[in-house]
Amino acid sequence: MNLKNYIGGGFRQQTSNNWITNLNPATGEEICKVPVSNSKDVHEAINSARIAYPKWSKLSHGERSLWLSKIADKLEEMFEEIAKIESIDTGKPISLARSVDASRSIANFRFFSEMIRDLEIEEFEMEDATNFVIQKSIGVGALITPWNLPLYLLSWKIAPAIGMGNTVVCKPSELTPMTADLLMRAINDIGLPPGVINLVHGNGIETGSQLVENPDIDFVSFTGGTVTGSKVASSAAASFKKLSLELGGKNSSIIFADCEFDKTVRGVVRSGFLNQGQICLCGSRIFIEEEIYDDFKNSLIDAVENMKIGNPLNEDTDLGALISREHLRKIEYYSDLAIEEGGVLLTGGVPCLPKGLEKGNWIAPIIVEGLNHESRCSKEEIFGPMVTLHKFRKEDELIKMVNNTKYGLAGSVWTEDIEKGRRVAESIETGMIWINTWLHRDLRVPFGGVKDSGIGREGGKWSLGFFSELMNVCIKHK
C-alpha cells in the first residue's frame, strides 16, 4: 500500500519518487510506503490552504462548529478501524487505542465544535466607551505531530485551528502516518471544502522543515522532542510566525508514606508504563518516602512483572511493542547506562520476544534503583518503559531533587493529606500536576510545559487563543 498526500481536496502522489517504508513495530512487517514530500509538494499544499482561507474564514462560528461535529460523527463510524490501525501502526495495545486514541480524537472534535459554537465576544465597558475583543483567524498554519498519539494529537490541533477559521497543512510522523490518512479519507467522504485541511507526508528534515520555513505559513503548532522543537523555534522566529511548542518531559511521581497504598501502586504503574512509557506525561522518576520505600518498591516490581506483554491486537495485552528498532536501541542504551551510573536493575531490561513476533521491538519493562537523582538516567528523557526509584526523607530536599531537571511538563503527587499534596504540587516547576491520579484530562484546562518542555499552552480557551489573533475594537459613546 502506498500512501498519498491530501492536497486541495484530493489524494495526490508526491512529485519525487522517494518513499519511506513504514514497519509494524510488533512484527517488523511492512505496513505501507510513505511518500517523502519535497518543497514542491509543500508549496502546493500551502497554496491550496491559502486559496481556501478567505471563504472558510468568513463562515460563522456556527457553520464551522457544524463541520467539526460532522468530522466527529464520521470518525465515530470509523471507531473500530481507528483503534485497529493505530494499534498496528504504533504497537500499542488495542484496548488503549480504543480508550485513548479513538475515543479522545472524536472527543476533541466534539469538544471544540461546542466551544466554538458557544464562543462569545468579550466586552469591557468604560464610562464613555465600549470595548469589544474580537478573536480573528490568523491564516494558514503548519501542524506537526509525533508518533506516540498520532490521531489524538492531530485532532487536538486541527479541531481548534480550523474551528477558529484558519486553514492548515499537517505533517504527521513518518513512523505513524496511517490514522492521518484515515482522517483525510473521513474529511473527503463528508465533503469538507477543499484546501481547509491538507496533509503532506514525509520526514522532518525535508518535509517538516520546509513547511515551517515557508514564508506563506502564518503559525506553527508543533508537538515533539525538545531538540527538534528548538530547530522549529529558530526557523519560525525568523519570520515572526506565531508558535506553540509542546515538547519533551521527565516527569516525577511523588509517593508519600500516607498515600492509599494499593491505589497508588496501580496509579504509578500506569503513569510509568502506559503506552510502553511513550507518553510525554509519563512519570519516569519515582520519589518514594523512606518509611514505605521497600514495601512500595516490592509491590511495584510485582505489579510490573504481572503485566502482560504481547500482541498489541490481543484484548488482554497490557504492554505492546516499542515504536522502532532505533527507539529500542535507545532504551537498551539507557538500561546499560543505568548500570554504569551505579544503578541496579530490579526487573526488566532483557529482550522479551512474544512467540511469533520475534521481529518486533520488544523489551521487558525496567525498574532501576540506587541511582543518584543527578544521574543522566534520572534527568534525561528516555521515553520508554524504564523508571528510576529514589528515596526521600524531607519535603524541602524532595522538591529540590524533583526540580533538578531541565524539563517541566507534568507530575503526580500521591498522599491522603491534600493540604500537603497541594503545597508540594505547587512547588514543582511544571505545567501540569495531578494529585492522587494521573492523566485525568479535562479538555477545558491549559495543557503545556515550562522550561525545556515547551512554550505556550493549548487546551480549551487557550487553544482558541493560540489559533486566533485578538483585536480590540473600542467605540466611543456619544
Largest CA-CA distance found in the chain, in angstroms, rounded = 81
Binding segment for ligand NDP among 25-33, 87-95, 190-198, 206-214 (CB under 6 A)? Answer: 206-214
Size of the site for ligand NDP (CB under 6 A): 31
Residue type, 229: G
When binding is defined by CB under 6 A, the residue of 116, 154, 212, 364 that contacts ligand NDP is 212
When binding is defined by CB under 6 A, the residue of 246, 289, 318, 369 that contacts ligand NDP is 246
Pairing of strands 242-246, 454-455: antiparallel
Gap between the Cα atoms of 387 and 346, Å rounded: 10
Q: Residue 240: helix, strand or coil by DSSP?
A: coil
Binding segment for ligand NDP among 89-97, 245-253, 412-420, 465-473 (CB under 6 A)? Answer: 245-253
Gap between the Cα atoms of 434 and 425, Å rounded: 8
Binding segment for ligand NDP among 2-10, 80-88, 190-198, 243-251 (CB under 6 A)? Answer: 243-251
- Distances from the Cα of 44 to the Cα of 154, 177, 221, 400, angstroms: 21, 20, 20, 51
Question: Please, which residue, 212 or 357, has the CB nearer to ligand NDP?
Answer: 212
Cβ atoms of 69 and 290 within 8 Å: the answer is no
Q: Give residues 419-478 in contact with ligand NDP (rule: CB under 6 A).
A: 449, 454
**Residue 216: all three cell numbers together:** 506563506
Residue sitting closest to ligand NDP (CB) = 204
Tell me phi and psi for residue 142, to 5 degrees: -105, 130
Question: Please, which residue, 57 or 90, has the CB nearer to ligand NDP?
Answer: 90
Q: Does 249 bind ligand NDP (CB under 6 A)?
A: yes
**Residue 284: all three cell numbers together:** 519516569
When binding is defined by CB under 6 A, the residue of 148, 155, 198, 284 that contacts ligand NDP is 148
**Bridge partners for 316 per DSSP:** none
Annotation marks residue 213 as catalytic: no
Q: Give residues 256-285 in contact with ligand NDP (rule: CB under 6 A).
A: 280
User: Which entry of 280, 282, 381, 458 is annotated as an active-site residue?
Assistant: 280
Q: Does 170 bind ligand NDP (CB under 6 A)?
A: no
Question: Which helix H or strand E contains 242, and what residues bound it?
Answer: strand 242-246
Q: Does 369 bind ligand NDP (CB under 6 A)?
A: no
Q: Does 150 bind ligand NDP (CB under 6 A)?
A: no
Binding segment for ligand NDP among 54-62, 70-78, 167-175, 459-467 (CB under 6 A)? Answer: 167-175
When binding is defined by CB under 6 A, the residue of 383, 392, 438, 462 that contacts ligand NDP is 383
CB of 324 to ligand NDP, least distance (A): 9
- Contacts (Cβ under 8 Å, ≥6 apart) of 452: 226, 247, 248, 406, 407, 408
Pairing of strands 219-223, 140-144: parallel
CB of 147 to ligand NDP, least distance (A): 5
Question: Please, which residue, 224 or 411, has the CB nearer to ligand NDP?
Answer: 224
Residue type, 313: L
Other Cβ atoms within 10 Å of 399 Cβ, number: 18
Annotation marks residue 246 as catalytic: yes
The single residue listed with the C-alpha cell 503545597 is 423
When binding is defined by CB under 6 A, the residue of 44, 174, 218, 452 that contacts ligand NDP is 174
- Contacts (Cβ under 8 Å, ≥6 apart) of 125: 131
Binding segment for ligand NDP among 61-69, 146-154, 287-295, 417-425 (CB under 6 A)? Answer: 146-154
Q: Does 248 bind ligand NDP (CB under 6 A)?
A: yes
CB of 201 to ligand NDP, least distance (A): 8
DSSP assignment letter at 16: S
Q: Does 386 bind ligand NDP (CB under 6 A)?
A: no
DSSP string of 305-368?
A: HTSPBS-TTSTT-SB---S-HHHHHHHHHHHHHHHHTT-EEEE--S----TT-TTS-----EEE
Binding segment for ligand NDP among 2-10, 139-147, 395-403, 436-444 (CB under 6 A)? Answer: 139-147
The single residue listed with the C-alpha cell 522543537 is 229
CB of 139 to ligand NDP, least distance (A): 19
Q: Residue 127: helix, strand or coil by DSSP?
A: coil
Q: Does 147 bind ligand NDP (CB under 6 A)?
A: yes
CB of 136 to ligand NDP, least distance (A): 26
- Contacts (Cβ under 8 Å, ≥6 apart) of 426: none
Catalytic residues, by residue number, are 246, 280
- Residues at the interface with ligand NDP (CB under 6 A): 144-148, 171, 173-175, 203-205, 208-209, 212, 223-225, 228, 231-232, 246-249, 280, 381, 383, 409, 449, 454
